[in-house]
Structure 1
Amino acid sequence: MDAVLQAIGDPSRRTVLDALREGPRTVNELAERLPIARPGVSRHLRVLREAGLVEVESRAQFRVYSIRAEPLAELDAWLDDYRALWRNRLDALHTEIARGQRDRRSTP
């Protein structure tokens, strides 16, 4: 999971993942979405591939990349405990706000 977190920590790699959510893309198609040269895009794709976030398939002379959701599902499961923590805190805050509003209405 550390490799996944490191990989998605870079905004360019997140842009690549966002593009791949729409479907498989070639390096050239991905490079159109980033303000960096094609070799830089290839380096980002290598990091994503090594983290298990993308897979590559050769089609004729093209390398086509697609997203792998499994590592993101693992990250999502890990984050779920933190979501529950924040949900509980936000629910408690909501209760306190409602209590304060109720108290203000009942005060003459």
Structure 2
Amino acid sequence: MHALDVLGDPVRRRLVELLAQGDRASGDLTEVIRDEFGISQPAVSNHLKVLRDSGFARSAAAGSRRIYSLSGERIAEVQSWAAEQLLFWGNRLDALDTELHRRGKETL
């Protein structure tokens, strides 16, 4: 699954944001997501599974709890894609800005 497909869901994006702040227990993540999105614990577990299966997150057992952490590999994929888009659009927007300024000077 493409990284942006995974992050296309607002719940999964929020989970990634939370994990970017540091490792969290699944119960803590569930509490935050339930409060913000009003979804059930099984629904949060499904989103965490998608993040794990797609390589965005890792989990480890700590007694009876599961601790989740962010995996940087897939985040780097998103960063690379965004950098390509910024380069592509940045050059074109700079050219548009130059053309608009040139045309503005012609009308004065």
Q: Place the TM-score, normalised by the shorter chain, in its bin.
A: 0.7 to 0.9
Which residue of the partner structure matches residue 4 of structure 2? Answer: 5
Q: Deviations over 1:38-90 (max 9, x none)?
A: 11111100000000000001112110001111111023223432221100111
**TM-score, length basis structure 2:** 0.85
The gaps in structure 1 that reach 5 residues or longer are none
**TM-score, length basis structure 1:** 0.85
Amino acid at match of 1:92: A
Distance 2:106 2:4 in 1: 45
Q: Of 80, 83, 88, which residue of structure 2 is paired with 1:80?
A: 83
Q: Of 46, 49, 52, which residue of structure 2 is paired with 1:49?
A: 52
Which residue of the partner structure matches residue 64 of structure 1? Answer: 67
Amino acid at match of 1:62: R
Distance 2:78 2:90 in 1: 18
Deviation at 1:37, TM superposition (A): 1.2
Deviation at 1:97, TM superposition (A): 2.6
Partner-residue secondary structure (3-state), 1:52: coil
The gaps in structure 2 that reach 5 residues or longer are none
Runs of 4 or more consecutive aligned structure 1 residues displaced over 2 Å after TM superposition: 2-6, 78-82, 100-104
Identity among equivalent positions (%) equals: 37
Amino acid at match of 1:71: R
Partner-residue secondary structure (3-state), 1:66: strand
Count of residue pairs brought into register by the alignment: 104
Kindly report which structure 2 residues correspond to 1:23-42, keeping only aligned pairs within 5 A, or say none: 23-34=22-33, 35-42=38-45
Larger Rg: 1
